[in-house]
Structure 1
Amino acid sequence: MANALHRLNSSLSDQNFKLSLDIVRSKLVPLDQSSIDAILTYDNSQQPTIVLPDGRTFFWYLAIGSMNNPISLYLRNLTPILSYPGRCLNHRVVFRGPGGMADLEPCHEAEFDGVVHLLSEEQMDRLDKMEMSYQRIVVPIIDYQNQSHAVYAYQMTVTNMSDNLPSERYLDIIVKGCEYYGVRSEYINRLRQEQSVVPRKEPHMYQSITDVPSDVFYTLDELAKHNGTDPEYPLRICINGKILEHIGLPPSDDPDYERQKHFHAIIQSRFAGREADFEIAKGLYEPLYKLPLSEEDLSDEHRAMLEDNYLSMLSRGGQSNIYWKPVGRLHRSNKNTTSSL
């Protein structure tokens, strides 16, 4: 298998990652040390939570995937009170499922490194909602000063997921996060040198939405009407300037029905009646590109990459593309330009 021999090349994204870090640092206001110390006064290393006398609760959380990267945290509006690297004992990281996402499993005498964050209750609740296919468990960690602590970590709820290779993009996020938070070089080198990845696609290999009517255009205001709340305006979304319309779910007895129903619910709640590129870019951070702060920050190549990833997600495990049809292109009248991608 050719992919089994491919290793991460993170140097390609170093420059834009540094630029993204500069953006994030300029926007974050860290909690002052006296407030942090006041919280830590009530810390108990045997518990994954800190409960203050006033009832406020804070959670120790071990990130094993993209959440150990400061850019990924920022894009999800997560701001740890403090963070530090550590080793998780008697567990190992595995990559599973169609996307090769990080999971952890018990393994006697094994260990791996990750980043521990202290989060507020509100932020932990938000993270729980993001990690829909994971459950929280308690695991033991030891920091680099040999102090132990119980922390929360996320473990996949689906137990029959097959092992799979992570994407190069995903491992790049993990490695850069580990470097940023000071994870041991031995562990980082292991990820670089031993973990095989699915290589990034070259831009000329990106999939593209085809059969888009060349003479039909919609404005953002017209697109907004198609948010799925009015049956007279079928649900539509815009990807890379191309507008897709949902044409219905499969029959309820179809094997693909539940998956399509779930996918439709996600699309409607997050992207209905809107340009989806920026929101997808936030959830699908790619270190190759500088952190986008708005739709206008996305380059043509970045949008093409997002379109390719969207199509991959659309068809993963089924034929979702048959439930969406291209109906036109976006006309950006406020810029006096028309998308012709």
Structure 2
Amino acid sequence: MPPLNAVIRAVSSLLTAAAVCFALPVRAEDKPAPQKVIIDDEGFSLMHMMLLNSPQIDVVGVTSVTGNWWAPRGAALQLRGLELMGRTDVPVAQGAVYPLMNTEKATERWEALYGKLTWKGAWMKQWVEPTQQSTPPYYTPYDLSNLPWGAPTTKVASKMAAVFMIEMVRKYPGQITIVEGGPMTNLALAQRLDPEFASLAKGLIYMGGSFNPHRVLDDRSAVEFAREFANSPRREFNIRLDPEAASIVSRAPWKQITVIPVDPSTATQLSRKLLDRAAKGAKPELGKVIAGFEPGFPLWDEIVAAVLLDPSVVTGAEDLYVDYDAAFGATYGDTLSWREHYQPGLGEQKARVVMSVDPRKLDEVIVKAVAAK
């Protein structure tokens, strides 16, 4: 048996070695690499700020599509937003100006046949009935006047959005998640141009679709937005503007699809309190933009960003096969869904559908994500 002093010295050496090991800094190569994403949307919102400001995310590009705003205006907002964030290293590619088939005139004809739509995005001229939210100004497709943060000095990329996306997923096969906050026109064009587009991406997460949302909050603005779903629970704007594109994308061979429908949004709100908290913690220039956002809307695209940054905000989800009705009629653009074994088998893909989120945790994720680093 060795002397006691020798045993003590040996144990002491082991403890010292262990302490040194635990004190060593984590090597850069041991940290998970940031997730590469392309953000496709109609403007520049809290979602963009959350993802661009996160060390977890590597935004390789931002693209614009016509939705709430026309694509050219959306690209200008994105360029200016990136300038304010000091992220002009991120390219902006302008996307499709018009949906694949749907038009403003066709939508007016549809309303004459089947009833008024609550929201029409870039085609919106007035609310059907008085609302707490302001009426957005109506612009023609290439009108870039009255940009809220001023005109950008940077320019859009030379390639259109669909081509840019194809090039990126081929450059980084299996690594890029497409984050979709608007209609899916650009994604459908990319898939038709390159049938391998969806399969080369890591996955798709999008805000769109409606399954069976109900009013949760009792304040006036929440009631106004939730009332739309009482008689049309399967209709949602991002899909309704370009149903053909949504159906093409839903049948594309993505490795994984996450759907954030309007269902969880009815329990959330972009309140003045939330905006003030987020603005206070952000860098000054960004804080001014955040403070200037109009409150009273549900949180939509912000849920998409939050699910990427902290999946624990999800409190309920279901795996469903999802597609969208592209036949011009009363249900044009409506969400179609099936559980396993009941799908028609026309190419529709299984998706993870987020049905509910934790509103308080969501607010915290937003505030933390936009905070000055």
Identify whether the pair has TM-score above 0.5, normalized to the shorter chain. no
- Whichever of the two has the greater Rg, that structure is 2
Q: Higher RCO, 1 or 2 (CA under 8 Å, sep at least 6)? A: 1
Q: TM-score, normalised by structure 2?
A: 0.27
Larger fraction in strand: 1
Larger fraction in helix: 2
Q: TM-score, normalised by structure 1?
A: 0.29
